Amino acid sequence: MVNKMDVGISKIRNKSHYSVVALFLISLAVTAALLLITGENGSIPREGESPKAGPPPPSLAGEIKYEEGGDYNETASSCDLFSGKWIYDETGNASYSDGRCSFMMGDYACEKFGRKDLRYRNWRWQPHRCNLPRFNGMALLEKIRGKRLVFVGDSLNRNQWTSMLCLIESSLNQSSLQSVVRRDNLFIVEAIEYNTTIEFYWSPLLVESNCDHPFAHKVSDRVIRIESIEKHARHWNHADILVFDSYMWWIMPSMTILWGSFESSDAIYKKVHMHLRLYEMALNTWSDWLELNTNRNKTKLFFMSLSPTHTFGERWDVQQHCYNETEPIMKEGYWGVMADRRMMHIVESTIEKLEKRGVRVQYLNITHLSDFRKDAHPSIYKQFYGSLSETQLADPKTYSDCLHWCLPGVPDVWNQILYSYIINS
C-alpha cells in the first residue's frame, strides 16, 4: 500500500534525523541525572527525607457513565476506564498492522523494522467493571461530521494521532481519508465524505519556543517564551475537539526564559533551574488562552496525562530497560520511576481551576495503564535516519527508543478511551 504521508515531510526529516537521534540520547542522559536528584518516585525529597513511594494520583476523569447494553457490561452504570489490568488475548487485539496502515510512520512500525516477537499486540486493557468500547471509525467520523479534531503537542501525541488514523482507516470498507497535507506545524488529514479533518499540530511545550520546528528541533539550550502562545494557538482557534499533551520536553535540568521576541536585539534571557515552576507557568498561559478563546458550548477539550518511559526500571528484571522486553509488568499497583506525579498534579490543579472558571477539560489519565507496558516500545525496531556507530551497535540500549510506542499498540487503547468520550458527548 502506498504510504500517504506527505513526500515533503520525508525530505525535511532526512535532513534532521541525526539531530533527532542525538536529542533522544541527550534526553536519556539528562533523565538519568534527574533520577539521581529526584529519587525513585520522581519527587524531590526534603532535606534529610528519604524518597517514598505513594499511590498514583486520582484521575479527574475517573468515571464515565454509559447506558446499558452495547459494548459495555450491562451491570455497570458507570466505569473507571483507567483502572483495570492487561489481559493476554490469543486471538489478537489489533485491527490493523503496521504494513497495512497507509499513515504509518517509521518511528512506530516495529514489525516492519525487524521485531519478530509480536505478543505486544495481543494484550488488551480490561477495566475492572466494564469493557472498553470497540472502536468504530465510521461511527466516529459520523459523530464529528463537519468538525475539526486536532491533536496538539509532542511526538507522543503524534504517536496517538497516527494510531487514530490507522484505526479509522481499518474501520472503513474503503479509505475515505486523504493524504497528509502539511502547513508548517500543522498536519491535516481530511475525510472529504464527512467534511471532517483529523489534524496534528507540533507544539511540544505548548508555548512558543526554539523547539517549534516539527523535525529540526535539536537545541543545546531550550528557550521558551513562557507567556506567548498565540503563534501556535491561532491554528487551533476554530477546532471543535482539541486533544493536548505536554510532558517529556520539560524534563530538563534547566531552561531559558525569553522576554521579548527571538528576533529582538534587546530581548532578555534568563536561565531557570525550576522546571516544575516553568511547567506550571506554561500551563497557566495555556489555560488563560482557553478561557478567553474557546467556545464553551462547542469545543470539546481533552488533556492526555503523561506517557511513561521505560528507560529505567525498578528491578522488573536484571535489564531494567525496554530493550529485549517481551512481557508487561504484572505487579499490581506498579508505579515507575519515569512517571512524575508532581507534574501530573500540576496539570490536574490547572484543570480544576479552569473548571471553576467555566472551562471544562477532560483529563484522560492514561499514565498508570501505560506504565505496565515495558514490552511495547519500539526499542531498536524502528526507522533510524542515519548510520549508527559501532559503539551504539555494540550496546543496543544506548540507542533503543523506550519513549514512543509500537503500532498497533498502547496508543490504540488511549484512542479507544478518547473515542468513548467523544461518542458519548
**3-state SS, residue 85:** strand
- Predicted confidence band of residue 263 (pLDDT cuts 50, 70, 90): confident
Cα distance between residue 38 and residue 32, in whole Å: 10
In a domain, 71, yes or no: no
In a domain, 67, yes or no: no
In a domain, 107, yes or no: yes
The pTM assigned to this predicted structure is 0.83
In a domain, 176, yes or no: yes
Among 212-221, 305-314, 376-385, the range with the most confident prediction by mean pLDDT is 376-385
Residues belonging to the active site: 155, 401, 404
What tens digit of pLDDT does each residue of 97-116 get?
888 899 999 999 999 999 99
Q: What number is the average pLDDT over the span 330-338?
A: 84
Give the per-residue pLDDT at 15. 42
- Structure-block grid coordinates of residue 194: 464527512
Note if the bond before 411 is cis, omega within 30 degrees. no
The overall average pLDDT reported for the chain is: 83
Give the per-residue pLDDT at 316. 56
Cα distance between residue 218 and residue 13, in whole Å: 12
In a domain, 315, yes or no: yes
Domain that holds residue 357: 7-44+80-423
In a domain, 34, yes or no: yes
Cα distance between residue 189 and residue 177, in whole Å: 7
Do 157 and 204 meet the contact criterion of CB atoms below 8 Å apart? no
| Positions of E strands within 35-133 | 64-65, 78-79, 84-88, 123-127
- Predicted confidence band of residue 385 (pLDDT cuts 50, 70, 90): confident
Q: What number is the average pLDDT over the span 184-211?
A: 97
Percent of all residues in the chain with a pLDDT value above 90, rounded to a whole number? 64
155-171 and 410-423 helices, crossing angle to 10°: 70
Give the per-residue pLDDT at 109. 97
Helix (H) or strand (E) holding 199: strand 196-202
CB atoms within 10 A of CB 99: 10
For the chain, how many structural domains are there in total?
A: 1
- Predicted confidence band of residue 95 (pLDDT cuts 50, 70, 90): confident
In a domain, 72, yes or no: no
In a domain, 260, yes or no: yes
